């Protein structure tokens, strides 16, 4: 990894400072509030942590219900597995819908609506008389409800934290593993006492508690103040320093994106946010300056705003609700530390030229429109009337132009393969244990082991990936490869002890898949493309989740063994990790091709 000469870096930083000073006077007075990095935010983290315990605990321990449904309805294993597949698939595929609603109504309202829908659907499921009815009630109804809860639980945390975001989101998502370790034995106990119908009703009541946690997602309110007052209060609220922060980007698609350069193989531009040792400045170094000049305060004010500049030809459009506009933040879905993102120079084919009004509608144009445009009716998919905020986010997340990017295509295929095998252990591990003669109670403990190991894995891998000297892509790839190999070899486990070892390895390594996806996307594609890439990734993950468990079930129906299903899942996960090792070489190839094209154009004609 190379860096430019000090003089060049200094000139570049001076240009950044000049741009920021010019943009301060153009900051939208109705823009989004600055994350306070604390205060009520810690209550939001507690609410998000609790929601992850309940929602992910229900989803990942569903294998306990699967065994009961097999016995009660006496259907095939592949057919019955569609219940869990539809549940997870709908939850993921509803991500763009949830994001669009969050941008219009805020995290609080969407979370409450999702909790009510999921709870009601689970309660109705106790009256199901066929597996097909469970497809509708648990699969579609509960899946959509959980989908409306899942994304706001993350976005609400990123709204409140910037410098401490990695810590805050890490605490919140740890509830997922803890929930699995709690809900697996809890579900088993409820089924033994109340049958599966009563257990569903009890869990429906637990899911209803998410309404209270949703009420804790208090929206940040932007309070307009005079410039002098803002400059006085700024050091208390802003964690960005102009000497350690990269240049902000606008919605212009031709500008370079932001990227953490230590997760790929080639960087051909100098870092800007470097300390004296040549490393990325960490969050604890950002607030050491006690005296600042008015000009520096102005720069800091500009950097604390997510959208800095607006074209002269358009006017700012105030948001209709105080909760609106959450998804207009470029980093709304970014779970890592914002201050570890280095300035990004394109290291892959330049695909920033998207159709006007589509890509970047959220990032750059959401708060700035021509005066007449807000009054025009907005329609999603050309026929569904909706608000401007909803339409902006949906268009952004469903913009398929990014599929022209070869790096994103590789990562999407990898993610698809991971998702195919991801849910197989959660659905079939308890059933596999019972086939080996392990009791249902001990079988539920295996899912609990996965949950505990997953919590530890998210903490350890998240901590390591936040270090500037760690190659996050390599950590991600190795984790998936080990996870896949362990899953394929789990067919050799013949008792509770060895299944427990496998559960621990699987839970720990799969933590990279669920915890590092958003930061890897930013590393590879840049912050500007995160919303678009994450939306499409959720869609493909949902599609893959539809087919994974049923395939494993059909393999059992054909071979009368769960072994082929685990081998299939392990193979897809291992391949998904191995194929990503090709990304650094592809980046270097694309960079050389682009450089050659630029050199050819630069040759003067005689």
Cα 317–Cα 97–Cα 105 angle in degrees, nearest 5:
45
Judge whether residue 120 has pLDDT over 50. Answer: yes
Q: Which residues make Cβ contacts (< 8 Å) with residue 372, sequence separation at least 6?
A: none
Bigger pLDDT: 98 or 226?
98
Judge whether residue 416 has pLDDT over 90. Answer: yes
Bigger pLDDT: 573 or 325?
573
Q: What CA–CA distance (Å, rounded) separates 557 from 569?
A: 16
Bigger pLDDT: 453 or 33?
453
pTM of the model: 0.71
Region 146-171: mean pLDDT is 86
Residue 340: band (very low, low, confident or very high) from pLDDT cuts 50, 70, 90 = low
Instruction: Provide the percentage of residues in the chain whose pLDDT is more than 70.
Output: 66
Quote the pLDDT of residue 32. Answer: 64
Region 541-565: mean pLDDT is 90
CB 418 within 8 A of CB 572: yes
Quote the pLDDT of residue 222. Answer: 62
Region 470-499: mean pLDDT is 93
Quote the pLDDT of residue 224. Answer: 55
Region 321-345: mean pLDDT is 60
Judge whether residue 237 has pLDDT over 90. Answer: no
Q: What are phi and psi of 380, to 5 degrees?
A: -90, 140
Tokens of 312: 């002269």
Q: What CA–CA distance (Å, rounded) separates 545 from 549?
A: 7
Residue 386: band (very low, low, confident or very high) from pLDDT cuts 50, 70, 90 = low
Q: What CA–CA distance (Å, rounded) separates 351 from 359?
A: 11
Tokens of 138: 């648990």
Smallest CA-to-CA distance from 500 within 567, 432, 446 is with: 446
Region 182-190: mean pLDDT is 91
CB 472 within 8 A of CB 518: no
Judge whether residue 480 has pLDDT over 80. Answer: yes
Residue 602: band (very low, low, confident or very high) from pLDDT cuts 50, 70, 90 = low
Chain centre distance of CA 405: 20
Smallest CA-to-CA distance from 20 within 329, 331, 296 is with: 296
Residue 169: band (very low, low, confident or very high) from pLDDT cuts 50, 70, 90 = confident
Quote the pLDDT of residue 305. Answer: 40
- Give the three-state DSSP class for 526: coil
Q: What CA–CA distance (Å, rounded) separates 569 from 515?
A: 20
Q: Confirm whether 33-218 and 401-589 share one CATH topology.
A: yes
Q: Which residues make Cβ contacts (< 8 Å) with residue 513, sequence separation at least 6?
A: 418, 422, 476, 479, 480, 483
Judge whether residue 9 has pLDDT over 60. Answer: no
Judge whether residue 20 has pLDDT over 50. Answer: no
Instruction: Say which CATH superfamily domain 401-589 falls into.
Output: MFS general substrate transporter like domains (1.20.1250.20)
- CA 214 vs CA 7, 52, 111: distances in Å: 51, 12, 5
**Do the strands 368-369 and 384-386 form a parallel or antiparallel pair, or are they unpaired?**
unpaired
Smallest CA-to-CA distance from 511 within 143, 173, 246, 237 is with: 173
Residue 343 β-bridge partners: 258
Q: What CA–CA distance (Å, rounded) separates 606 from 603?
A: 9
CB 419 within 8 A of CB 548: yes
Q: What CA–CA distance (Å, rounded) separates 408 from 22?
A: 34
Q: Where are the domains of the chain?
A: 33-218, 401-589
| String of DSSP letters for 297-338 | HHHHHHHTSS-----TTSEE---SSTTTTGGGSTTTT--S-G
Region 75-87: mean pLDDT is 89
Judge whether residue 1 has pLDDT over 80. Answer: no
Q: What CA–CA distance (Å, rounded) separates 565 from 424?
A: 8
Cα 98–Cα 186–Cα 90 angle in degrees, nearest 5:
25
Per-residue 3-state assignment (H helix, E strand, C coil) for 216-234: CCCCCCCCCCCHHHHHHHH
Q: Look over the chain and give the mean of its residue pLDDT values, rounded to a whole number.
A: 74
Tokens of 72: 């009660």
Quote the pLDDT of residue 155. Answer: 87
Mean pLDDT is lowest, of 239-253, 326-340, 380-394, 536-550, for: 239-253
**Do the strands 378-380 and 384-386 form a parallel or antiparallel pair, or are they unpaired?**
antiparallel
- CA 138 vs CA 121, 128, 512, 586: distances in Å: 6, 10, 28, 42
At which residue do the structure tokens 């391949």 appear?
Answer: 575
Q: What CA–CA distance (Å, rounded) separates 183 from 445?
A: 10
Quote the radius of gyration of the chain (alpha carbons, Å).
25
Class of domain 33-218: mainly alpha
Region 245-252: mean pLDDT is 42
């Amino acid at each position: 990894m190379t860096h430019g000469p000090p003089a060049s870096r200094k000139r570049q930083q001076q240009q950044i400072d000049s741009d920021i000073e010019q943009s301060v006077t153009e900051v939208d007075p109705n823009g989004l509030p600055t994350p306070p990095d604390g205060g009520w935010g810690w209550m939001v983290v507690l609410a998000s942590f609790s929601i992850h315990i309940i929602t992910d605990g229900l989803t990942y321990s569903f294998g306990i219900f699967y065994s009961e449904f097999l016995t009660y309805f006496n259907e095939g294993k592949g057919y019955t597995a569609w219940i869990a597949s539809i549940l997870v698939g709908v939850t993921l595929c509803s991500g763009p819908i949830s994001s669009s609603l969050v941008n219009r109504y805020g995290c609080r309202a969407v979370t409450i609506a999702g909790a009510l829908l999921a709870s009601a659907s689970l309660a109705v499921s106790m009256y199901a008389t066929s597996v097909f009815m469970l497809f509708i009630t648990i699969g579609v109804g509960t899946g959509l409800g959980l989908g409306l809860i899942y994304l706001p639980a993350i976005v609400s945390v990123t709204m409140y934290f910037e410098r401490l975001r990695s810590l805050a989101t890490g605490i919140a998502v740890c509830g997922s593993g803890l929930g699995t370790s709690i809900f697996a034995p809890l579900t088993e106990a409820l089924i033994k006492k109340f049958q599966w119908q009563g257990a569903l009703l009890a869990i429906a009541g637990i899911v209803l508690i998410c309404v209270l946690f949703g009420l804790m997602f208090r929206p940040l309110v932007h309070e307009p103040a005079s410039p002098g007052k803002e400059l006085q209060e700024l050091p208390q609220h802003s964690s960005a320093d102009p000497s350690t922060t990269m240049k902000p980007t606008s919605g212009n698609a031709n500008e370079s994106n932001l990227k953490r350069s230590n997760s790929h193989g080639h960087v051909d531009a100098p870092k800007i946010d470097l300390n004296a040792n040549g490393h990325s400045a960490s969050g604890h170094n950002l607030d050491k300056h006690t005296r600042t000049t008015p000009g520096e305060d102005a720069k800091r004010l500009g950097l604390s705003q997510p959208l800095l500049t607006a074209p002269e030809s358009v006017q700012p459009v105030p948001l209709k609700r105080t909760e609106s506009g959450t998804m207009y933040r470029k980093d709304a879905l970014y779970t890592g530390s914002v201050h570890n993102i280095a300035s990004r120079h394109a290291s892959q084919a330049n695909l920033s030229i998207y159709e006007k009004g589509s890509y970047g509608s959220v990032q750059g144009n959401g708060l700035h429109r021509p005066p007449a445009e807000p009054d025009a009716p907005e329609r999603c998919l050309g026929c569904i009337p909706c608000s401007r905020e909803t339409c902006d986010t949906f268009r952004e997340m469903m913009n398929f132009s990014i599929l022209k990017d070869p790096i994103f295509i590789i990562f999407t295929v990898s993610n698809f393969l991971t998702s195919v095998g991801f849910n197989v252990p959660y659905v079939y591990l308890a059933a596999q244990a019972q086939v080996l003669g392990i009791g249902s109670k001990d079988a539920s403990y295996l899912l609990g082991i996965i949950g505990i190991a997953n919590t530890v894995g998210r903490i350890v891998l998240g901590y390591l990936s936040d270090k500037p000297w760690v190659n996050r892509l390599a950590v991600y790839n190795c984790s998936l490869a080990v996870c896949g190999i362990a899953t394929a070899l789990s067919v050799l486990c013949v008792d509770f002890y060895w299944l427990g070892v496998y559960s621990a390895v699987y839970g720990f390594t799969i933590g990279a898949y669920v915890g590092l996806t958003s930061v890897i996307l930013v590393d590879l594609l840049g912050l500007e493309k995160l919303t678009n890439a994450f939306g499409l990734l959720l869609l493909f993950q949902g599609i893959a989740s539809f087919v994974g468990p049923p395939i494993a079930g059909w393999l059992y129906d054909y071979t009368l063994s769960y072994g082929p299903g685990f081998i299939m899942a392990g193979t897809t996960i291992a391949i998904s990790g191995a194929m990503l090792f090709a990304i650094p070489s592809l980046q270097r190839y694309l960079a050389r091709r682009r450089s050659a094209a630029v050199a050819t154009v630069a040759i003067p004609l005689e």
